[in-house]
Structure 1
């Protein structure tokens, strides 16, 4: 747990002491963005997050907001940056008091932060009751959680009372490793300017193995494996054990997921890989399913659903979701790869680069004004066409994005996007909208540019922002 204390201490860590500009937001760069009002508990050296604006909006709308995400992604610091008082439920002496009387955790100046509320699940119902009482003003309570309690531990879902903000590890725009010169929101609005980027592969290999963990921003390459080992020790030996799972089996299932990251591998495939060929298919599938659901509840993995243009299409439900880890470094650590190995294993590099891109796209897309609850999907059909990422907004606008490690894959990316465009337009009666834009997201690249022949953009990941 010392890693957690290192990051969430009272700002002593030098890696977070510098002011950090809002480089990722086009409106902010032009001085048009609203200033975000923070609280008195804002940690010294806090780096603004893309989710800050959305959190501010939720606090202005709801009496209570839960900030949820995998442990160590920065939930506590972000929540404290808006807070005026706090209760740290994770501390043993505090937990004993709150277990005896959950309402004591709600006492304090508003907004009041309740950190790691899931350690005392009865707190959820206490917050729900406080909201229902009508005595709380908007933005009164901020809960942070790194896991979802089982249904039998809480009496109410919180729907309509407690808003939820999904937080992820830092994107490249937040760490400062993307210029944010190409705004995802701007592309939806038809705004784009070409930029010289000149991005190579080696820094991307290092980023994949280090991840977007706030505590590792200025750490050397040797620190990342130790940090991620500690993360998995906490997940497998503590969090999963609390839920009644075997830590050893959890590691095996996680490794099987890492081997199939970014795919829609069947649960029986995951189970057979984890538990051995001799395990019966049905048994392997059932065992794997339990672990996968637990990992989802701990926000360690995230599923990306399928997409089809007609909003009522049944194929949206038929296409199996792809699975990614909360941060690409988790898959890299489980597979025991280093930046040097990625540079000589192009296939594995490509798989983990896709995971990095999907991670950042989910961060950026979640901040779009018309973002859906699951803003990023993928496309696959019976003709063998697959497009890596589809971003669809509530107003019907959508974009198709292909992911390629280098410029040598751009033409095939263009071809897939063109096939998708033609398929969507094939049935005029369906009245499917034209894409707002198409793009190929690349790792190594010289320019962020528009290709008129393909009617698509080419954008290095280190130039993309919200």
Structure 2
């Protein structure tokens, strides 16, 4: 029986294989890259477990390319030299869909590799969205919202505790049918592997597991916020007298980025009618909300006891899904915040011909939704639409309730109805 669950990236991969000689799928380990790529590949070379294949790259790599295509080179970063051989193979055959590379880290010597531009297309993959895992109906399409279409959704039956559980368990394919206690243990081991093995293997930082764990915890506390390096340094130091220097903190963050574990939202810099001063710092997120709660060692019960923290982690859940749904549209995700924090918009989704603004609220309370709608309308009124155009949609994403377009034009969408 085929238990594979359709991924949003499946259609993207098919398109890339039809237009590029090879496709690189990047994403954190455990997000399903190999399984997705294996369904398209006719030959699979696993560099993480096949020592003979690794040796063959330095002996006679041409033999590896004699197998039926597409050829999947799994965990290619274990043998970075394969990159240039794939590039040359594509040049020699002038073909499409010849190879797929999957990897959970950027190699240390990536700067020494020749560009794959024009030969190797890149595709980002993340843990599963609620739509992919079956926890969202997908009734409300992000693509349709960006086309300016009205969207409706039935009242969700999902409860706040159930949503907190989805945050804590995350979108990892192997955890979909796992109860929370076992999922938290798996995630604890996952982060332990990151700290003890994966980051040190990159060779960019000295081995300091306690400080790396405090880095993860600090990012967990600051999820959905523009945390400064100075604040991170203080958290990382813990009880130590000496704080890490800026370069060390940057190296920790770079390592997490190279492992595809973080995905921040840069500041949107629109032309505005007012002289509003905006923040420039990026807002920090993990690639999956479960990493933030796992780094802090908290579960559903803890989140329910701390509504403010729960709101930030809920925002991280929604951002993960928005990024995945926006990617096939070549969309980008940004954030908009006034310098003094009086006004903010959680997410701006922008494509080449449209943009939409999203506020995220862990509630179904009408008063909160009303206030968020007023904030979005006020924000939209400040944007110079002669340069940016009118927003295709203003959206409040909620935890509870139904979905539809209000009389003021703002859409209300429960996260369990959101889809690509």
- Normalising by the residue count of structure 2, what TM-score does the alignment of the two structures yield? 0.92
* Superposition deviation, residue 237 in structure 1: 1.4
Which whole-Å deviations, capped at 9, do the CAs of 1:232-252 have from their partners, x for residues lacking one?
122111111212332333222
Aligned to 2:45: 87
Task: Point out where structure 1 has 5 or more consecutive residues left out of the alignment.
Answer: 1-16, 18-43
| Structure 1 Cα separation of the partners of residues 338 and 65 of structure 2 | 50
Greater shift, 179-188 or 155-164, is seen at: 155-164
The residue correspondences of 1:265-344 to structure 2 (distance < 5 A) are 265-276=227-238, 283-310=244-271, 319-344=280-305
* Aligned twin of 2:6: 48
Task: State whether residues 279 and 339 of structure 2, in contact with CA within 8 Å, keep that contact through their aligned partners in structure 1.
Answer: no
Aligned to 1:5: none
Question: Which ranges of structure 2 fall in alignment gaps of 5 or more residues?
Answer: none
Out of 174, 195, 213, which is 1:215 matched to? 174
CA contact (8 A) 1:121 1:153 kept: no
Distance between the aligned counterparts of 1:128 and 1:205, measured in 2? Answer: 44
Could you tell me whether the CA contact under 8 Å between 1:182 and 1:193 is conserved in 2? yes
Check whether the contact 1:86–1:113 (CA below 8 A) recurs between aligned residues: yes
Is 1:450 the equivalent of 2:411? Answer: no
Check 1:159–1:268 CA distance in 2 against 1; reply closer, same or farther (3 A cut): farther
The number of residues matched between the two structures is: 409
2:203 matches 1:250? no
* Separation in structure 2 between the aligned mates of residue 317 and residue 117 of structure 1, nearest angstrom: 41
Pair 1:365-2:319 in alignment: no
Tell me how far 1:278 sits from its aligned partner: 6.2
Say whether the 8 Å CA contact 1:121–1:149 is kept in structure 2: yes
Residues 194 and 222 from structure 1, CA distance in 2 versus in 1: closer, same or farther, beyond 3 angstroms? Answer: closer
The one of 59, 62, 65 equivalent to 2:17 is: 59
Q: 1:405 aligns to what?
A: 362
Q: TM-score, normalised to structure 1's length?
A: 0.83
**1:25 corresponding residue in structure 2:** none
The answer (yes or no) to whether the contact 1:122–1:153 under 8 Å persists in 2 is no
Residue 259 in structure 1 maps to residue 221 in structure 2: yes
| Structure 1 residues 58 and 243, CA gap change in structure 2 (3 angstroms) | same
Q: How does 1:94-105 map to 2 (within 5 A)?
A: 94-105=53-64
Contact between 1:85 and 1:108, CA under 8 Å: does it hold in 2? yes
Alignment of 1:138-217 (within 5 A): 138-151=96-109, 154-189=112-147, 190-217=149-176
SS of aligned partner of 1:376: strand
The RMSD of aligned alpha carbons is 2.2
For CA contacts below 8 A with separation 6 or more, give which structure has more relative contact order.
2
2: distance between equivalents of 1:438 and 1:151?
43
